[in-house]
Each structure stands twice: as structure tokens, then as C-alpha cells.
Amino acid sequence: MSTPLRLGIAGLGTVGIGTVKIVQHHAGLLARRAGREIVVTAVSARNRSKNRDADISGYEWEDDPVALARRDDVDVFVELMGGSNGPALAATKAAIETGKDVVTANKAMLAIHGQKLALAAEEHGRVIRFEAAVAGGIPVVKALTEGLAGNEIRRVMGVMNGTCNYILTRMESAGLPYAEVFEEARQLGYLEADPNLDVGGIDAGHKLSLLAAIAFGTKVAFDAVELEGIGRISIDDIRRAGDMGYKIKLLGVAQMTGRGLEQRMSPCLVPAESPLGQLQGGTNMVVLEGDSVGQIVLRGAGAGEGPTASAVMSDVIEIARGARISTFGQPAATLADPVPAKATAPAPHYLRMALSDKPGALAKVATVLGEEGISIDRMRQYHHADSTAPVLIVTHKTTRDAIDHALKRLPATGVVSGEPVAIRIETV
């Protein structure tokens, strides 16, 4: 058997320790599958004395992850620190410059610096693998770069943030308001230190931008992702969408159109009986559509020690086997500059509003919608105890521009109380 593949692991949090455990517990299995032994030679983390759920006493310790990345006894630098800049970026650059391959779970770093890092890796004859950065244990990066490499990808879509899916499904099952479930998620440790990374759609937007680059052969364009979080979704929206046969999900969608690359991460309604509609808790799901293969649905754990460490090790084994795949599935120099495009494809929309209990109120709303070219598919009015009545409308296919124009005009009718809510209904 050939010489061992030597890992230097920077970051010994949940995923880092999970990776150490796999190397320690499955040494023989890994060696048989990779064709060579895989060992950890050195590690780095912020706190050397922290009590960890794995024995790391046999590994060399580096306080500085950049020093770890430059060590001569490290072949693959495993970056599990996180953060778009700072030590993670500095150490990744150092690893590439000194001839190391890189395995990372850092979607923020790649979403912002991915193109430059990919070019640098290719210049030095190295690879960057990041299966663990997108959808935890789901092998979606490999599905796109390998399994579906013979397809023209039509659309990438999915629920890619388990925390948001937990919040939305928990609101529904327990009948609790958003603020209460948000606090519950915080207490359980599900939220990032900056919660807006989760509930604002940023974390999932990072992941979507990486998948879009692979799927459509473009440079990563996170800045062009249309982002809307789940903070405005009420328990009433969830219940009433359910009455109409839908579930609300924070859904990422990327597709190439005649106008350019659409990338959006926003709350959408999906049919309750669809695979996405049935997704519960912290589970992730990615839907890939290719011209030859049709629709592929990948579902699994989107985070956590085991699933994410599993993805890290899949990349390590790929490198150990000698596989050399460009970071985004094709040479970085051939990736096109994307032309960002707003989501202009017509779609049905869900509208919720409170109407004054006056004769002709509904007719005034219907008139505004009709003048904007919006036709009503279904409508439901709920019983009410005060001077306003909750009304739900599901439209036929229409553009978001038409919806936005109508929403701006509705207050002038004098019959709409508060701010109406509009959510796109996605076909899956």
C-alpha cells in the first residue's frame, strides 16, 4: 500500500471532532476504500485545553492555522473554522501556496472568494473540495460535478437551511408564533452566533450560489442572490397556506434564463404533497433538474457532527484516490461572468390581506388586481370578530412586478388594513 495521506485539521468544533472520530474509528475501512492509509498528523483550534469528545493527544498542535497549513507533514489542509475572511482565508491561501489540497466546509468563504481561490488552486496544481459546505451529508456537489456531468442543468432548487425548516415546521406543528419558536431554536443551539445568517437566508444563499456556479458554469455570484428571510412569516400564513393545500418553505431556486442567471432565496409555497412540502424538521432537500436525467431529489441531514464530517471524509477519500476535479466542475478560467437576472418567470402567488368589513371591499381589490393583469384562481374569506376580515387569494400565473404594483395600489382603495403579504408559489 502507498504512503499515508496526512491531514491537518484546523477547527475542532462539532465537525472537526466528527472528522477526527471517523479517521480514528474507521481507519481500516478508509484505507481499503482509498487505497492508502489516511491519518491526522496535526491540528489547530482556538483553545488547546478545551475538553473534547475525542483523543487528540497523539497529534501535533499548532496555535496558528496558517502554520498548520504550511507544515511539511500535511498533505491535505482540512479547514473547518468558518468565517469568510480572517484565519480561515489566510490559512487556505497558505495551504494552496505550499502545495496542499484543501477540503473545507466553509460556504461563506467560497461564496465570496471562491473564484480567486479556485484560480490559485489550479495555478499550483491543487484541488479544493467542499462537499461539506452545502447541505451537510447530502452529496449534492458530487451529484452535480460527477453524476450529472453529462446533463445541461435546467434548475437547482431546495431547502438548504435546516434551522429555518425547523422553525417553520415547528410553528405549524405546535401552533406557535415565529418569535417564540425563534427563541426556542436559539436555546437549543440551532442558530448561528449571528441569527440573521440563518433566518435572513444568508447561509442558504451562500450554498445556492455555490451550486449555481457548478450547475451553470458561471463564477460564484453571491451578491446577485435575491435574499428574503422568514421573519415576516406568521402562524396565520402557515395555517392558511395549509388550508389551500400548501406548505411554506425557505426555498432556494437557481436557473439560467434568456435574461441571465436567476438566483433567489425566499419563502415560497410548495404543494403540501410534494417532496419539499413533506420535508420536516432540520432535514435538507435539493432538487436537481437535467435535460437528460429529468428530476433528481436528494434528501438528508443538512447539518450536525456525523453528516457534515461524512461529507468532509468523502472529499478526503476522493483526494486519496487521486481524483482531480476542478473546484466548480470545470477550469476556473472557463467559468463565465454571470448576467444577474431578476425572477421574471410568471408563477402563481399567495396573497393575504385584511379587508374592511364594508360592502364592495372585495370588488375594489379584484379591480386593482385585474387592472394589473392578475387573475384570481381561488379565494377564501375567514370569519372575523372585528372590523376587518382575513382574505386569502391564490392567483393564476403572474409576474412579481405585477404583484408589487398591485400591492402598492391597494392601500389607496381604503379597504385594506395593514400590509398585505405576497408569497410566490413554486412548481415542484
For residues 27 and 41, give the distance between their C-alpha atoms in angstroms, rounded to a whole number.
Answer: 14
Give yes or no for a contact between 14 and 306, defined as CB atoms under 8 angstroms apart.
Answer: no
Residue 388's pLDDT is what?
83
Q: Do the Cβ atoms of 73 and 7 come closer than 8 Å?
A: no
Q: What is the pLDDT along the chain (428 residues), one digit of tens a residue?
A: 589 999 999 999 989 999 999 999 999 999 999 999 999 999 999 988 888 888 999 999 999 999 999 999 999 999 999 889 999 999 999 999 999 999 999 999 999 999 999 999 999 999 999 999 998 899 999 999 999 999 999 999 999 998 899 999 999 999 999 999 999 988 887 888 888 899 999 999 999 999 999 999 999 999 999 999 998 899 989 998 998 899 999 999 999 988 899 999 999 999 999 999 999 888 999 999 999 999 999 999 888 888 999 999 999 999 999 999 999 999 999 999 999 888 777 899 999 988 888 888 889 999 999 999 999 999 888 876 677 888 999 999 999 899 999 999 999 998 888 888 899 998 87
Q: What are phi and psi of 225, to 5 degrees?
A: -75, 125
Pure H helices in 295-360: 305-320
Query: Residue for cell digits 504550511?
Result: 70
Query: For the chain, what is the largest distance between any 2 Cα atoms, rounded to a whole number of angstroms?
Result: 84
Let me know the angle formed at the C-alpha of 286 by 399 and 10, rounded to the nearest 5 degrees: 125
The residue to which cell 437547482 is assigned = 156
- How far is 32 from 311, CA to CA, in rounded Å? 18
Pick from 139, 108, 132: nearest CA to 286 = 139
Beta strands in 139-196 (DSSP E): 153-159
207 counts as catalytic:
yes
Any idea of the CA torsion for 101, 94, 216, 301, to the nearest 10 degrees? 70
Per-residue model confidence (pLDDT) at position 385: 62
Mapped onto helix, strand or coil, the DSSP state of residue 340 is strand
Using a 10 angstrom Cβ sphere, with 0-12 exposed, 13-18 middle and 19 or more buried, the burial of residue 67 is: middle
Residue 138 cell numbers, joined: 447530502
Residue whose grid cell is 451537510: 136
DSSP 147: I
Cβ atoms of 161 and 249 closer than 8 Å: no
Element at 115 (helix H, strand E)? helix 107-123
Q: Among candidates 104, 111, 99, 94, which has minimal Cα distance to 130?
A: 104
pLDDT at 351: 93
Would you state the pLDDT for residue 293? 96
Q: Which residue in 207, 247, 249, 364 is the catalytic one?
A: 207
Distance CA 65, CA 281 (A): 35
- What distances in angstroms separate CA 74 from CA 81, 95, 242, 327, 413, one per listed residue? 17, 9, 53, 20, 69
Which candidate, 25, 6, 5, places its Cα nearest to that of 305? 25
Pull the grid cell for residue 241: 397556506
Query: CB–CB of 394/236 below 8 Å?
Result: no
Start-to-end CA distance of the chain, whole Å, equals 48
Cβ 389 vs Cβ 357: under 8 Å: yes
Residue 185: closest CA among 204, 162, 203: 162
